[in-house]
Homo-oligomer: A and B are copies of this chain.
Amino acid sequence: MPDLERATLPLDLTLDLTVDGVTLTAALCDVPSVSGDEKPLADAVEVALRTLPHLEVLRDGDAIVARTHLGRAERVLLAGHLDTVPIAGNLPTRLEGGATEGVLHGRGTVDMKGGVAVQLRIAATVPEPSRDLTFVFYDHEEVDAARNGLGRLARNHPDWIAADFAVLLEPTSALVEGGCNGTIRVEVTTRGVAAHSARAWMGHNAIHDAGRVLARLQAYAPREVAVDGLVYRESLNAVTVHGGIANNVIPDRCVVGVNYRFAPDRSLVEAESHLRELFDGFEVEVVDGSDGARPGLDQPAAAAFLVAIGGEPRPKYGWTDVARFSALGVPAVNFGPGDALLAHADDERCPAQDILRCEQALRRWLTA
């Protein structure tokens, strides 16, 4: 499907960064860039950025980095990914209503070419920002973490993405969402002894034992933790349970899959210890996990950002690439156009106002 879509593109694809953000979002969406097929769009972004004399432009694969060198006291990073999930008959884009009050429909409008358009508009229109700027456009965000373009940049060129504060333009309905909870998944296994269910006393029921695991989960009181001024709410849940092999056999094994979303005051290692303590006496195996991210709202750049944006920041509960920045020592927030609940949806759509307001807010902050 991506190849088919690409075949319909003009060969001399150019991006005009002087148009308004909504028109630019539509132009970006109409260059399909499903994960793995980012090259045409990355090429176009690179060519457009190279026309801007105040920016140094760098490239690694299909990730593009552009930055100012103005000797400012702080450096701020604006990041967004170029790829989308597969197209679901929702391209080309379609604007319903006016160019400022309407809604732009189509794959990528929310996740996250609206944010990329805002990045490009700031790059083109703020040549002398109050803070040095680094723009990052990266590939492979919508696939497994090992291929993530931001992770590749962090490995290959950590200096390219060094900064004091980062804004990830993932959709937040143009509100500031700070940091994110971490996540860890473990499997808690109980083991018994198989027997015919007509002679249950010959065996030991592993599913019955799993009831004690579930009882601990049900009795658990999740924390609410203030971190850098935002209150993170934790969750601890059984997300799967599987046991038993036949209707007449006492089950000898039951596995409860548990997901713990933990506040960013706690590391992944601490989260694992917490679960091992909670499930003391049971077999616990870690399946996967990721550290969370502190919001970093105590940084000067972040404080100025909040003043410029206005409104109350909210904590981010879902895991996003802000955690990658956090792991690199760069505090980060999410701030971008579109409702995150519409990301990946067939009827993905973004209010024009979200795009325009994000651009205005960032310009206000960076030109103050």
Q: Which residues of A contact B (CB under 8 A)?
A: 181, 183, 185, 196-201, 205, 207-215, 217-218, 222, 233, 235-251, 254, 256-257, 259, 261, 287, 317-319
Bound-state Cα–Cα, A199 to B207, Å: 27
Contact B247 A198 (CB under 8 A): no
Bound-state Cα–Cα, A198 to B234, Å: 8
Contact B243 A247 (CB under 8 A): no
- Can you list 20 A-B pairs with a CB-CB distance of less than 8 A? A198-B261, A198-B318, A200-B236, A200-B237, A200-B261, A205-B217, A205-B238, A207-B214, A208-B214, A208-B237, A211-B211, A211-B213, A211-B215, A238-B251, A239-B246, A239-B249, A239-B250, A239-B251, A241-B242, A244-B257
Given the known inter-chain contacts A181-B198, A239-B246, A251-B238, please indicate yes or no for A214 contacting B218, CB distance below 8 A.
no
Closest 5 CB pairs of A and B: A211-B214, A240-B244, A200-B235, A207-B238, A198-B317
Contacts of A210 in B (CB 8 A): 214, 241
Query: What would 8 more interface pairs be, CB under 8 Å, given A198-B318, A199-B317, A241-B243?
Result: A200-B235, A200-B236, A201-B235, A207-B237, A211-B214, A240-B243, A247-B259, A248-B259
Bound-state Cα–Cα, A244 to B256, Å: 10
Given the known inter-chain contacts A208-B218, A244-B238, A250-B237, please indicate yes or no for A261 contacting B197, CB distance below 8 A.
yes
Closest chain B residue to A251 by CB distance? B239
Min CB distance A315 to B, Å, is 11
Contact of A217 among B208, B235, B256 (CB under 8 A): B208
Contact of A211 among B185, B218, B242, B247 (CB under 8 A): B218
Contacts of A233 in B (CB 8 A): 201
Chain copies in complex = 2
Bound-state Cα–Cα, A289 to B208, Å: 22
Contacts of A241 in B (CB 8 A): 207, 210, 241-244, 251, 254
Bound-state Cα–Cα, A242 to B240, Å: 8
Contacts of A247 in B (CB 8 A): 185, 239-240, 257, 259, 287
Min CB distance A171 to B, Å, is 15
Contacts of A242 in B (CB 8 A): 241-243
Bound-state Cα–Cα, A256 to B317, Å: 31
Closest chain B residue to A244 by CB distance? B240
Contact B198 A319 (CB under 8 A): yes
Bound-state Cα–Cα, A207 to B257, Å: 10
Bound-state Cα–Cα, A247 to B256, Å: 11
Contacts of A244 in B (CB 8 A): 238-241, 257
Contact B214 A198 (CB under 8 A): no
Contacts of A209 in B (CB 8 A): 218
Closest chain B residue to A197 by CB distance? B259
Contacts of A246 in B (CB 8 A): 239
Contacts of A208 in B (CB 8 A): 214, 217-218, 237-238
Closest chain B residue to A180 by CB distance? B198
Max chain B C-beta neighbours (<10 A), residue from A197, A222, A247, A250: A197
Contacts of A248 in B (CB 8 A): 239, 259
Max chain B C-beta neighbours (<10 A), residue from A213, A240, A250: A240
Bound-state Cα–Cα, A162 to B150, Å: 82
Bound-state Cα–Cα, A241 to B240, Å: 10
Contacts of A251 in B (CB 8 A): 238-241
Contacts of A215 in B (CB 8 A): 211, 215
Bound-state Cα–Cα, A96 to B327, Å: 72
